[in-house]
A = this chain, B = another copy of it.
């Protein structure tokens, strides 16, 4: 089992992660346990968790409806209410069993219940293992804006059991894999080479490396003042694309939009001479091999630009992109012009 030390807690990865949770619960004397899950993790992951962690047999289960559209304050009210009714106190532990929606929402609920109770994350998707469950960002959507209400609050532990990934579809796995590609491209050339050489999207080794790289960055910039922005590679365009397609009621996953975003932002990085043509081709070939091209209608492109410009308004005059500078390094480039983005949209 791999153990990664974060700010004040550890991330345990591998089949021993659940036995480690048994020890964690024995060591910390919580008055009671609450598990948040959705209908999928209730069915597919909770039995494994309960089987491996007997202390949780008495836990109160709070089952939420799945879906990003349930990541709202209304759902928080439901969880705060359930905690209150069941007599949760300052020494209760909240356990987030699920993907990013569960850990974002559960983390927020815990960090605000009685001014903060302990919580741990047991991520069940590749996306939440390598991304959402590490870094301390919690929150819910509000008036259509993602993570608009939230806190920065660290869990007391993250227990990553890759076995849970066997219950996911390939599309869901690829959804998380985009973040693995991203972190390799901006932070570790060797890891990038390794990804290209292996046939699998995940293994304990890949997950550990991806978390390790993110954790190193996050630890240096907990509140996203600067450095942490490098994690946005592929996300400026990717996020705008995701918002545009969701507004058009198209079926799109976060990782798919980020994959497309990385293609376009790599194109921009090449135009700005941050990566050479050979590196650009390497990136395009790899990502295009894994992710199907997204068809971009003119109306989608227009919407995407509207979303990008909306971000711009909030950030001052220049668009700040995180771009690879040679594969394996990054640069925060403050001043990407809209023409460059339009050009990348044409090239895509």
Contact = CB atoms under 8 A, between A and B. Distances in A.
Interface of A: 73, 77, 80-81, 84, 89-90, 108, 111-116, 137-139, 142-143, 145, 147-152, 223, 314
Contact of A84 (B115, B147, B148): B148
A213 B89 CA distance: 29
Given A81-B143, A142-B84, A115 B73 contact: no
A80 B114 contact: no
A80 B72 CA distance: 13
A115 B104 CA distance: 12
18 contacts: A80-B142, A81-B143, A84-B148, A89-B314, A90-B314, A108-B112, A112-B112, A112-B149, A112-B150, A113-B148, A113-B149, A114-B148, A114-B150, A115-B137, A115-B138, A115-B150, A115-B151, A116-B223
B148 A111 contact: no
A108 B115 CA distance: 10
B89 A151 contact: no
A77 B73 CA distance: 9
Contacts of A139: 115
Given A84-B142, A145-B84, A116 B77 contact: no
A89 B313 CA distance: 10
Nearest to A112: B149
A61 B338 CA distance: 35
A115 B152 contact: yes
A309 to B, nearest CB: 14
A110 to B, nearest CB: 11
A162 to B, nearest CB: 29
A142 B113 CA distance: 10
Contacts of A138: 115
Contacts of A145: 84
A49 to B, nearest CB: 27
A227 to B, nearest CB: 16
B84 A116 contact: no
Given A80-B149, A84-B148, A108-B112, 8 more contacts: A73-B73, A73-B77, A80-B142, A80-B148, A90-B314, A112-B149, A115-B137, A115-B139
A220 B142 CA distance: 36
A160 B149 CA distance: 29
Question: 8 shortest A-B CB distances, which residue pairs?
Answer: A115-B150, A89-B314, A112-B149, A115-B152, A84-B143, A112-B151, A115-B151, A80-B149
B80 A151 contact: no
A332 B114 CA distance: 22
Nearest to A84: B143
